[in-house]
Amino acid sequence: MIVDRGIPTIAQAARQIKAGLLSPVTLVENCLNRIEKHDSVINAFHTVFSEQAMIDAKQAEKEIEGGKYRGPLHGIPIGLKDVFYLKNHKTTANSRVMAEFEAEEDATVITRLREAGSIFMGQLNTYEFTFGGRPTFDALYPPARNPWNIDRSTGGSSSGSGAAVAAGFCLGALGSDAGGSIRTPSAFCGIAGMKATFGRVSAFGDLPLSFSFDCVGPMTWTSEDSALMLQVLAGYDERDPGSVDIPVADYVSQLDKGVQGLKIGFIRHFFTTDFSAPPVITQAIDEMSTTLEDMGAIVDEVQVSPLIDWHAVGRIILPAEAYAIHEENLQNRWEDFGPLARNRMMLGSLVRAVDYIQAQRRRTELLGEIETTLRNHDILITTAMLTPQPPLDDKAPFPFLDVPMIAVPFNLTLHPVQTVRAGFFEDGMPIGAQIVGRHWDEATVLRVAHAFEKKAGLLKQYPNLD
């Protein structure tokens, strides 16, 4: 680990750019140099927009010098998970099925980032069709590696996004999350990641894995940076049928309010009783609870249904919806799928209508449990991982049969969640936690996350790429 990686956070860079102390051209050059030096090993990107990024950086610099500053993302290098429509570029979802697909327009989140002045650094690797679990070497592009240890998994499916931000190849990245695909790589790579309330960020132009709980969100080094990105990404979009027209809060202005007097429910049984996580994970999340108490929050343990209940519901709904989305291609282009993604999707073909309906019924009951708990608590916390990062070459075909999905409860309930770094394993790999809020209250989630990050001081350690 090193003390300083030489790449600022979005917030730091934004302040310097606005004050004329940092050139977007210099910032983009620094990121491109890091990509050129290290990404042949990390594999975060499959396509780097080196030439266009420099053109855009020069244009951003010219605009800012001319008094046309667009806001905190103006001139900021951002990576794009390869599931978002990007005009004049192929959107592949890391699958041979999509190898030649080129959308006629940008995804809404791409448009919003572009209008905010972001500099797109390239397209980031992902698990094939975003079906997480473990990386695979049989997709269109090789898997991203974890910058903390290149022999370990980044988690999925926003694998390249997690790796790129952790490695300092970009200051922020887009991710998508249908079962932990923002939060797991954020936890595994030691960064911050936000799964907003379902409907808060437009999913138009995002290749989905699930109809009913696929979300889009930012992945960044800090929760302050997540707030800055979310401020640009959030908002109603009539082209997305899941989008909801609810006012967007000013996330950044509330970050420094602290946690004094907030009531926090600690879902500890998920990783102690329901599943026996390693003691180092238990200790890290317990220490997070203690830190929040020391800062003035009121923390108490809460009980909801066992984790395996949540896992079982997710394991029925997610494959069923994934199969429904990809059924035609699975029937007609079987050989173009990688075996891992294909086999997981085919599990959905075995789900009966009665099973799916019963799972949705149980989902409603589980949602009610969280809603009841959040009536008496402002925030919930729990772990974002139950085991250490597995080896990159793990061969388990269905890893979810061994370890329940710790992220899926809040996909099922549609609540906003921020992943933060909560500690480290003995070997230096990061440990992540989840901070969960009420529907549409991303502001309080980010406020708690920001306060914890500042107090814990865990973000001063970086992967050593040399």
Q: Kindly report the CATH number assigned to the domain that includes residue 209.
A: 3.90.1300.10
Over residues 3-26, the mean pLDDT reads 91
- What pLDDT does residue 270 have? 98
Flag whether pLDDT at 444 surpasses 60. Answer: yes
Name which of 78-82, 107-111, 185-189, 208-212 the model is least confident about. Answer: 208-212
Does the residue 419 lie in any domain?
yes
Does the residue 114 lie in any domain?
yes
User: pTM surpassing 0.95?
Assistant: yes
Give 397's pLDDT tier (boundaries 50, 70, 90). Answer: low
- What pLDDT does residue 340 have? 86
Does the residue 332 lie in any domain?
no
* Amino acid identity at 446: L
* Amino acid identity at 465: L
CB atoms within 10 A of CB 167: 27
Flag whether pLDDT at 396 surpasses 80. Answer: no
Does the residue 465 lie in any domain?
no
Does the residue 334 lie in any domain?
no
* Amino acid identity at 76: I
Does the residue 341 lie in any domain?
no
Give the range of the structural domain holding residue 233, as residue numbers without chain letter: 10-309+352-460
Residues known to be catalytic: 81, 157, 181
- What pLDDT does residue 4 have? 59
Name which of 4-8, 339-343, 406-410 the model is least confident about. Answer: 4-8
Flag whether pLDDT at 398 surpasses 70. Answer: no
Name which of 128-142, 367-381, 411-425, 451-465 the model is least confident about. Answer: 128-142
Q: What percent of the chain has pLDDT over 90?
A: 92
> CA-CA distances (angstroms) from residue 456 to 105, 117, 290, 295?
43, 32, 11, 11
Does the residue 421 lie in any domain?
yes
Flag whether pLDDT at 313 surpasses 90. Answer: yes
Over residues 53-64, the mean pLDDT reads 98
Does the residue 2 lie in any domain?
no
Flag whether pLDDT at 1 surpasses 60. Answer: no
Number of domains observed in the structure of the chain? 1
Q: Indicate the average pLDDT of the chain.
A: 96
- What pLDDT does residue 3 have? 41
